Amino acid sequence: MTKPQDQKKENSRKRETEKRRNFLLETAVTAFMEKGYHQTGIRDIAKRAGVSLGNLYNHFRSKEAVLIEIARLEADELSGFEGILTSAASPIDRLQKFARSYLAYNCKSENVLLAIEITSEAIRNPNIAKIYSNNRDKMISTLADCLKEASAENEIASVRIPLVSAHFILTLIEAEGQRICFDNRSATPQDTDYIWEMLYYGIGGRDLRFPSSEN
């Protein structure tokens, strides 16, 4: 039986190492963003974090393992958006709220640059591909369900291929986010309105309710 104070000490140690691990991950993210994954050396990360080369390998099995961990964290963030798409609101309101928040997310340079690194690595690295596509596929199908509901309730015209339309919505928002990000600004109400307008008509909406542009 371990005494309480022993537990505490042990836990504090574990917390410390976890903290450092997370810090290393954050540092790696910064490096990957600035230089790109393949252009970043393990030594870059270690030096940035003020940590020895060997110690980094105590925390991560390989360079790929670092990216895998990052990809997992990034992919997990997507699940937050599924909550929006499955709330109690009307389908079209859910869609609109989703569009707004997903656009905001995709304007932040850290998300944009990281997503580019991860997805372009995923093209040739199946280990990365799986992590990322799992969560993304789930989001696409949730979005597709929302589209089906919307057309079932006659809020939009019938969506012929919901999965493709869902893919199209994601792509459009992400691309718009990239554009805004590379313009070095954040999303304005006009951006949000405009993308919603195109989305709404693109998926078969017929009488546009102009968004209220509230937060």
Partner DNA sequence: TTTTAATGAACGATCGTTCGTTCAGAAAAT
Partner DNA sequence: ATTTTCTGAACGAACGATCGTTCATTAAAA
Residues that bind its own copies (CB under 8 A): 35-36, 38-39, 113, 116, 120, 123-124, 160-161, 164-165, 167-168, 171-172, 175-176, 179, 194, 197-199, 201-204
Size of the site for DNA (CB under 7 A): 26
Angle at the Cα of 178 from the Cα atoms of 177 and 180, rounded to 5 degrees: 65
Instruction: Determine the interface stretch with DNA among 42-50, 96-104, 145-153, 191-199 (rule: CB under 7 A).
Output: 42-50
Instruction: Determine the interface stretch with DNA among 34-42, 87-95, 145-153, 189-197 (rule: CB under 7 A).
Output: 34-42
Whether the CA torsion 140, 146, 150, 152 is positive or negative: it is positive
130 DSSP assignment: H
Task: Please say whether the beta carbons of 205 and 158 come within 8 A.
Answer: no
Compute φ and ψ for 212, nearest 5 degrees. Answer: -80, -10
Compute φ and ψ for 40, nearest 5 degrees. Answer: -95, 125
Q: Is 94 a binder of DNA (CB under 7 A)? A: no
Nearer to its own copies, 155 or 176 (CB): 176
User: How far, in Å, CA of 79 to CA of 168, rounded?
Assistant: 19
Distance in Å, CB of 201 to its own copies, minimum:
4
Judged by beta carbon distances under 5 to 8 A according to partner kind, the member of its own copies, DNA, none in contact with residue 73 is: none
User: How far, in Å, CA of 185 to CA of 111, rounded?
Assistant: 14
Judged by beta carbon distances under 5 to 8 A according to partner kind, the member of DNA, its own copies, none in contact with residue 41 is: DNA
Integer-rounded Cα radius of gyration of the chain: 21
Residues that bind DNA (CB under 7 A): 2, 6, 9-10, 12-13, 16-17, 20, 40-44, 51-55, 57-59, 61-64
